[in-house]
A and B are shown apart, each in its own frame.
Chain A
Amino acid sequence: NAGVTQTPKFRILKIGQSMTLQCTQDMNHNYMYWYRQDPGMGLKLIYYSVGAGITDKGEVPNGYNVSRSTTEDFPLRLELAAPSQTSVYFCASSDLKQGQLNQPQHFGDGTRLSIL
């Protein structure tokens, strides 16, 4: 099993450009998450999904959009890149089920994004 796979690993964007960060997991987990990590800081939740077709905002959703058409994939889209979106982006998944809320999250290796 590959676990959680993120692509690309690195990307440089110009201000105003758009791009999609890809995330796929092969563990059949219903719950998936997008976080960003700024230097010297912990992770902050951008968006999450509890299953295909269901998404919701996290702590810092402005400037981002997500979709969840399949269980495996959870892409994150930046529509108009801004310097404040320079960060490392992590995707995670978890095997949460009703009545079983104590499950660890599994993380991808991240996408390092610079907006210039």
Chain B
Amino acid sequence: KQEVTQIPAALSVPEGENLVLNCSFTDSAIYNLQWFRQDPGKGLTSLLLIQSSQREQTSGRLNASLDKSSGRSTLYIAASQPGDSATYLCAVSSGNTGKLIFGQGTTLQVKP
């Protein structure tokens, strides 16, 4: 059974720092891994999707990497800003129906 774990559960950093969020999964047979952002009281916004054949994806200050063999992904946020404060969730898709298995999330606070 696929399990997804995110460490740390919470993170607080000063503005301007570069930071890394971690995601691990137990079964390497995945189609893709997705990173989402969740603001308080809101739904999830898709940030990056990495296909199983890819090593990384970039969008602006965000870079996500995937090491399928070791069951790990990282989300790198460069030059963090207070507006980056949110909960970040990773999820893996293993079947042909797009069903996602989610980690518990990392709540990030960027202090001005």
Contacts and interface: CB of A to CB of B under 8 A. Distances in A.
Interface residues of A, number: 28
Interface string B32-51: 10101000011111100101
A107 interface: yes
B98 interface: yes
A45 B103 CA distance: 12
Interface string B68-105: 00000000000000000000010101001111101111
Contacts of A107: 36, 43-45
Contacts, number: 69
- Secondary structure class of chain A's binding surface, majority of residues: strand
Nearest to A104: B46
Interface of A: 4, 31, 33, 35, 40-45, 48, 50, 56, 58, 90, 92, 94, 96, 101-110
